[in-house]
Amino acid sequence: MKKMLFASGLLLLAMTTFAQVKSGPYRLMLKSLLSHTVPEMQVQEAVLDQANLIFLDAREPKEYAVSHLADAIPVGYDHFAVAALPATLPKDARVVVYCSVGYRSEKITEQLRTAGFTDVSNLYGGLFEWVNQGHPVVNADGPTERVHAYSRTWGLWLRKGKKVYGGKE
């Protein structure tokens, strides 16, 4: 019985570790940056259930144009309005909001929850963690390695992909 409990504990630990932000310093930065006021979805959970999720991209149009998650709906941040969302987006849909690292998407997720969306989460670690864990992004031409790194300071957290700043690599 003890061996079974020990094995179960190790399995749970492995699964939890697998699903978290991989970089310790990045994880610490996110812990302090985010308010953690909304449900958060880990990248691996989103990858496993991707077909059943609707992704909203809370970055600005120039960032979205460089790359985004496949089929993500751009909603922006600076001029975000719940009323501008597609009318076909039901309030009980499984929605995951993301941005570069998770700060802007956390704020948009708060607004969506206030507006009555019942199953909406913030992608923990954002697009950077998605790419850091080796998952694909696309642009208008198809798959790409390019990722808008927002700024050189925030770009430090992007470990994979080709960093783009303001349209230039």
Q: What is the pLDDT of residues 95-130, one digit of tens each?
A: 999 999 999 999 999 999 999 999 999 999 999 999
Provide the CB-side half-sphere exposure for 36 (13 A, CA). Answer: 7
> Which residue numbers in the chain have pLDDT < 70?
1-19, 167-169
* Residue 51 placed within a domain: yes
- If phi > 0 it is left, if psi is from -120 to 50 it is alpha, else beta; for residue 150 that is left
Residue 6 counted as domain residue? no
Residue 21: the pLDDT is 82
Nearest to 126 by CA among 33, 4, 8, 62: 33
Amino acid at 89: L
- Asked whether residue 13 is domain-assigned, the answer is no
The CA-based dihedral angle spanning residues 111, 113, 115, 118, taken in that order and rounded to the nearest 10 degrees: 150
Residue 78 lies in a domain: yes
Quote the pLDDT of residue 169.
66
Within-domain flag for 157: yes
CA distances from 64 to 28, 38, 131, 147 (A): 26, 23, 14, 9
Provide the residue range defining the domain that includes 131: 21-164
Residues annotated as catalytic (active site), given as ranges:
99
Number of domains in the chain: 1
Which distant-in-sequence residues (6+ apart) come within 8 Å of 119 by Cβ? 92, 93, 94, 95
Please, are residues 126 and 148 in contact by the beta-carbon 8 Å criterion? no
